[in-house]
Amino acid sequence: MQPPSLELLPNTALVIGAERMADTSGGDAEHIYAATGRVTKRFSLAGKAEIDAAVSAATEGAKAWWGIPAERRRDAMFTLARLIREHGDELETISMVDTATKTRRFATLSSDTVAYNAGWCDKLNGESVVGSIGKGFDIDSPVPFGVVGVIIPWNAPLLTMTNVIAPALAAGNAVIVKASDLAPFAALRLGELCLEAGFPPGVVNVAPGGQEAGEALVRHPGVSKIHFTGSTRTGREVAKNAAERLLPVGLELGGKSANLIFADVDLDFAARVALTAAIGLNGQVCTAGTRLLVEQRVYLTFVEKLTELMNNVAVGDPADQTKALGPVISEAAAERIVGVVDGAVNVGAGRLVTGGTRLGGDLRDGFFIPPTLVVDVDPHSDIGREEIFGPVLTATPFTDEDEAVGLANDSDYGLAGYVQTADPRRAHRIADALDVGMVYVNGGLPAHPPGASFGGGKNSGYGRTGGRVGIEEFSRRKNVWMGR
């Protein structure tokens, strides 16, 4: 098995202002293709010095970006959206090398996100406030923060990057993107396209790096806001470091989303929906409905149907369109996932029905785990409560609506919820009762519409991207009183 064409991989130097930085204080690292366990290419890593340089570039870029008319900012973003579509095959191939996952429609979704947010550039109007104090009036207007630090994860860097930088740019900010040291290439290529689209140098900077770069970005006095996407554990550290200087933060963190399956639904359809949580991005999706809650009277039948589907999933090379599931991101991730499943079974927290081990044979050098189903899961156990981030589903029965909602809400996470039912009134009741940021009824979206808000609560973070509220996350209000 070979990775997709490596000739398409971009220049691996950092994108800082109009410059490319290859010789960095962070050194360099090897990228490992998860399907083979072999090195694809070495790339430069940002350290503290490069974050300092990026902040300086972004500070000038923010002044230039906010200083040009809103219509020109809009047009530059529309140009970027067009370039993403024109380079779609290239970007999707690069993304596949990054993460060894299926990336079909990534470019289209990213382009749509940029185009949607571009439309807000010339529509962020303030308001006049009439009051009885003094002889004058107020103008209350949105203004940008200035320099926004954006920390993105490895699981879908192209999508995650556009989901965050598009509203930040539309609001008038410059951004510094700290890409993951596990998946640097798509972010770097997108940074190049931003310059090609006509953005002033420094408006979009891309600096792959590890913990040192992330901490330097959060602690830098020249950064006015941070948006972090990643694990809850790291999100807490980001929030703690940002709190030292009262830095506003947006956090899009993990999830353990419940998928409530009622007896009145088409069980074949519900099983297919459930399967997508295991195979989408190779099970590495924060919003995935991995916690299956199934009405007792159809529980055994549903488990049988789902097991059959999971056993027939073709696992292998993500570049092979006949394969539905690829590897997880690293050997460490594969070993951790297998350990979670083994630990749950060994303590009686659930019963393994299928999967749960590393695959061998032709796939032995990659980080492949087949679709895995653990049933009769204790909802209070670790496997029933903690995010696994792999192709693993758990199943627990319930008897009625109240129990289903109680089990779903008894979670430290609050990102997404799923409801499968033929009863529209029940769908509305459950959607209203679920303590999450997003609810999907009778299905699950392959992606989130750019005009809809995205985000959660509890240990899944706070803040939103998407829609007008996403733009407002990257704006602050300024009030000006005018005497007369």
57-66, 141-150, 286-295, 445-454: which range is least confident on average? 445-454
What is the percentage of the chain residues whose pLDDT exceeds 70?
A: 99
CA dihedral angle for residue 401, residue 407, residue 408, residue 409, rounded to 10 degrees: 110
Asked if residues 389 and 369 have their Cβ atoms less than 8 Å apart, the reply is: no
- Evaluate whether 45 touches 30 at the Cβ level (below 8 Å): no
pLDDT tens digit sequence for 217-264: 999 999 999 999 999 999 999 999 999 999 999 999 999 999 999 999
Model pLDDT, residue 148: 98
Listed in order, strand segments (DSSP E) in 340-446 are 351-354, 372-375, 392-398, 413-414, 416-420, 438-441
Q: Could you list the active site residues?
A: 252, 286
Digit-coded pLDDT (tens) for 92-123:
999 999 999 999 899 999 999 999 999 999 99
Closest CA to 395 of 479, 254, 320, 298: 298
| Rounded alpha-carbon distances, angstroms, from residue 375 to 269, 311, 315, 345, 396 | 19, 15, 22, 10, 6
Task: Give pLDDT tens digits for 338-387.
Answer: 999 999 999 999 999 999 999 999 999 999 999 999 999 999 999 999 99
Lowest average pLDDT, out of 29-38, 324-333, 437-446, goes to 437-446
Average pLDDT over residues 54-66: 98
pLDDT in tens, 384-438: 999 999 999 999 999 999 999 999 999 999 999 999 999 999 999 999 999 999 9
Domains contained in the chain, CATH given: 6-253+460-483 (3.40.605.10), 258-449 (3.40.309.10)
pLDDT attached to residue 132: 62
State yes or no: pLDDT of 319 exceeds 80. yes
Cβ neighbors of 216 (< 8 A, separation 6 or more) are 47, 48, 51, 52
Chain-wide mean pLDDT for the chain?
A: 96
* 141, two tokens: 């207007």
Q: Which residues of 438-471 are buried (b: 16+ CB within 10 A; e: fewer)?
A: bbbbbebeebbebeebbbbebbbbbbbbbbeebb
* pLDDT confidence bin for 4, thresholds 50/70/90: confident
Residue-level pLDDT at 6 = 83
Looking at residues 263-285, what average pLDDT do you find? Answer: 97
Q: Please report the pLDDT score of residue 127 as a whole number.
A: 87
The residue among 306, 324, 305 whose CA lies nearest residue 393 is 306
Which of helix, strand or coil describes residue 20? Answer: strand
Q: How many CA atoms lie within 13 A of 210 on its CB side?
A: 12
* Proportion of the chain above pLDDT 90, given as a percent: 92
